[in-house]
Amino acid sequence: MKKPSQKPEVKSPKAKTALDKKSAPPLLILISAASGAGKTTLVNLLLEAQPNLTRAVTCTTRPPRDGEQDGVDYHFFDAAEFLKRLHAGNFLEHATVYGNSYGILKSELLGKLRAGRDVLLNVDVQGAATIREQAQTEPELKRALVTIFLTPPSVAVLEQRLKKRGLDAEAVIQKRLAVARQEIAQWKNFDYLLISGSKHEDLRRTLAILEAEKMRSARSAQPEF
């Protein structure tokens, strides 16, 4: 009996998510968390997973460390230049840490968003509050902004993580936990609350959030019919 001929297998092209489409509106993704919650790990995984995602480069008055490049790791300003830009209202958010000034330029964010890039902000709870407030006066930033708060399931889990790192004395850990309780209480001010699980699960759920945000009608252009 003649065997039926088999059609060659045709592989379908790899499906693209909304995050991959050039026509999708760019997002300004703000991620905040209490210390030790895994924010830096999540941010690094997001940057690896999404080629169109870029981090915002912060300005600072501290001197460059070995290997750091101006415009890549930080924008390095002297104190006079930083103060000049501060008085001109160029910063979306700024702070002084251990005698050095840090700030995020509005032009840094708007330039990347206008180029179609998704921009990632890694800030503390206080910085997040300032950025939310400032974005209300900048329509482009307000339209693009998505805020995510990452937290462990409980303070007890956070305490275990801090102790496991072995970086701080017990008194320092307890001080961090006291601050963390105050920070976690601010979760309702964010668009999304992400209860941390494994790092890969955190990444999967964050990508799902971003894909859904890309499809919000308020951000989308009129579809062609």
Domain that holds residue 45: 28-214
Contacts of 158 (CB under 8 A, 6+ apart): 34, 36, 37, 151, 152, 177, 180
Whole-Å CA distances, 214 to 22, 51, 162, 220: 11, 16, 35, 8
Q: Alpha-carbon torsion 131, 137, 18, 191, what sign? A: positive
In the numeric block, the tokens 């462990």 are attached to 152
Strand-pair category, 75-76 with 59-60: parallel
Q: What pLDDT, on the 0 to 100 scale, is given for residue 111? A: 95
In a domain, 152, yes or no: yes
- pLDDT-derived band at 50 (thresholds 50, 70, 90) equals very high
* Average pLDDT value for residue range 144-153: 94
In a domain, 195, yes or no: yes
In a domain, 148, yes or no: yes
In a domain, 20, yes or no: no
Q: Cβ(36)–Cβ(175) under 8 Å? A: no
Q: pLDDT tens-digit profile of 177-194?
A: 888 888 899 999 999 999
Instruction: Give yes or no for residue 54 having a pLDDT over 60.
Output: yes
Q: Lowest-confidence range among 4-13, 74-83, 106-115?
A: 4-13
Dist. CA 212–CA 19, nearest whole Å: 9
Residue bearing the bigger pLDDT, 163 or 191:
191
Dist. CA 195–CA 67, nearest whole Å: 35
Dist. CA 167–CA 2, nearest whole Å: 73
In a domain, 105, yes or no: yes
In a domain, 160, yes or no: yes
Q: pLDDT tens-digit profile of 34-49?
A: 877 888 899 999 999 9
Q: Where residue 58 sits, what CATH number does that domain have?
A: 3.40.50.300
In a domain, 224, yes or no: no
Q: What pLDDT, on the 0 to 100 scale, is given for residue 18? A: 40
Residue bearing the bigger pLDDT, 155 or 47:
47
Angle of the 155-165 helix axis to the 170-184 helix axis, nearest 10: 140
pTM of the model: 0.81
* Average pLDDT value for residue range 188-211: 95
- pLDDT-derived band at 59 (thresholds 50, 70, 90) equals very high
Q: What pLDDT, on the 0 to 100 scale, is given for residue 23? A: 64
